[in-house]
Structure 1
């Protein structure tokens, strides 16, 4: 994959969470660089809209990444229709915010299931293809994998989990020629982030981060950076690039976050009530409303 001028040319690339946001932007960028793209997501009509914007061959499948049987069927159909996957991007994710004590246990668990269990399930069903192609698996992680934030316990736990999962998987499959990368992202301009800013507590939390850490980055810029990392089979990619520096100080981050939170959270609580947000963004609403797992795994026609 790394030896040609266009390393993605003719390759099959699978992107989960491709109905919008970063997944849709990555699908477009992968196609622009020559890949045939399989778009996986929860909403058939939105996936079809994204497919219509892709410059090249692409197909879409409506599927819940936490449905193991449906994912196995989709993996087989992708292989039959597009060829074995050389690239798999585990991007599907949801988030919710608010105090842990008042959180809805089912929604809290759902964040873990989609972000962590769904990523592992994605790797599992496509691993045979990646082994045959000596392919590349990219796990979408976050600054939350490195430094946890208050009022985002499920999301932070899930992103710390996917980082550890990707490190473990990399060590397990390296001798088979499979490379595993981790994408560490900060604020990216998706509907999930825009929805977070509609909630006073989450908006205030972002406003109190250091200036570089609270900047929101265009989704197309982030997608282009991640696809370049796919071409290079990078072990890690940071968007923005300064996030790399947080690795050197990650051991110091929890006590710093606790110190700041101990001072700031009481002040914020005097200004606004801390309330659960529910799942954030249009993707989160689709996940909440889309309890139709019996229909999962349907391909486009």
Structure 2
């Protein structure tokens, strides 16, 4: 749909902006002259990020799964910075462990934040995006390419947001509003570093092909995403080589199943695989059932 007509002076919304990829992306977009609205549950961390940015900002402490609070957040953003031209649905959490023994509330929380929270984000900012013929970017993952064991909630949520964004694109692009999907691989965030502390998830990555195990700095990932925002890309790959993996997607499920047949029994021989709970400080802030809804 063509390139954004200059990001400078326009307003971007980034959810999950208190840390990790969201914070790095907020810095990257601010460096391109955008006003940035930062949304997250962690208010103090949001304000720390905002103090680094040399552009007008707006911090809203909000749970993306709380529809009423998100509606108030959308009003606050527009009153403070103007109607957004770019909205990035980045907020996400993860947990690991066998599906049979994971806490159902934690499993649902992953789906609620990653999938329902993305839909809520799109819904509350959609009027502004339609007025501005803007750009909505859904952060997905290579977990949408092929689901892996011990990550059922995360994989289901990322496959879900991919399908959601594809459906939304078909609805909105005839009206001049573009929708993109960003596929991210292993990124050096606190969530991934926490995952590596758990034997099961560390083993999961160890069984990937050597090149696919590499972890990328959040700053590099944010730069790739921002370039996609600037060009209103339908698909953004971070790292770019992931584009080459798209045609191979039909091969991933049987390959994962074949590896799991011998890897999981060997892992079980070492003892039970305990659930991880929500990973990283961001997951701790979200809580298995969420914190009390924050006021937008």
Q: TM-score range by the shorter chain?
A: over 0.9
1:73 Cα deviation after fit:
0.5
| 1:7-33 CA-partner distances (Å, limit 9, x unpaired) | 110100000000000000000000000
Cα 1:86–1:294 shift into 2, 3 Å: same
- 8 Å contact kept, 1:187–1:217: yes
1:291 Cα deviation after fit:
4.4
Alignment of 1:27-176 (within 5 A): 27-176=26-175
1:288 Cα deviation after fit:
1.1
1:240 Cα deviation after fit:
1.2
For 2:248 and 2:261, locate their aligned partners in 1 and report how far apart those are by CA, in whole Å.
20
1:289 Cα deviation after fit:
7.8
Return the TM-score normalized by structure 1: 0.95
| 1:230-281 CA-partner distances (Å, limit 9, x unpaired) | 0000000111122112210111111110000011111122235311000000
SS at match of 1:14: strand
- 8 Å contact kept, 1:42–1:290: no
For 2:223 and 2:209, locate their aligned partners in 1 and report how far apart those are by CA, in whole Å.
25
For 2:138 and 2:115, locate their aligned partners in 1 and report how far apart those are by CA, in whole Å.
10
The range that moved more, 144-153 or 272-281, is 272-281
Return the TM-score normalized by structure 2: 0.97
Match of 1:231 in 2: 230
Cα 1:198–1:272 shift into 2, 3 Å: farther
For 2:293 and 2:186, locate their aligned partners in 1 and report how far apart those are by CA, in whole Å.
34
For 2:30 and 2:151, locate their aligned partners in 1 and report how far apart those are by CA, in whole Å.
34
The number of aligned residues is 295
Cα 1:171–1:277 shift into 2, 3 Å: same
| 1:40-75 CA-partner distances (Å, limit 9, x unpaired) | 000111111111111221110000000000000010
Match of 1:187 in 2: 186
SS at match of 1:295: coil
For 1:220 and 1:296, locate their aligned partners in 2 and report how far apart those are by CA, in whole Å.
30
SS at match of 2:86: strand
For 2:140 and 2:216, locate their aligned partners in 1 and report how far apart those are by CA, in whole Å.
16
Cα 1:201–1:70 shift into 2, 3 Å: same
For 2:24 and 2:221, locate their aligned partners in 1 and report how far apart those are by CA, in whole Å.
9
- 8 Å contact kept, 2:105–2:289: no
Match of 2:8 in 1: 9
Cα 1:229–1:65 shift into 2, 3 Å: same
CA RMSD of aligned residues (A): 1.3
Question: Structure 1: which 5+ runs fail to align?
Answer: none
- 8 Å contact kept, 1:28–1:55: no
1:292 Cα deviation after fit:
3.9
1:295 Cα deviation after fit:
3.0
SS at match of 1:81: helix
- 8 Å contact kept, 2:98–2:274: yes
For 2:262 and 2:224, locate their aligned partners in 1 and report how far apart those are by CA, in whole Å.
36
For 1:152 and 1:96, locate their aligned partners in 2 and report how far apart those are by CA, in whole Å.
7
The range that moved more, 288-297 or 57-66, is 288-297
The range that moved more, 261-270 or 122-131, is 261-270
Question: Structure 2: which 5+ runs fail to align?
Answer: none
- 8 Å contact kept, 2:285–2:291: no
Structure 1 ranges of 4+ moved more than 4 A: none
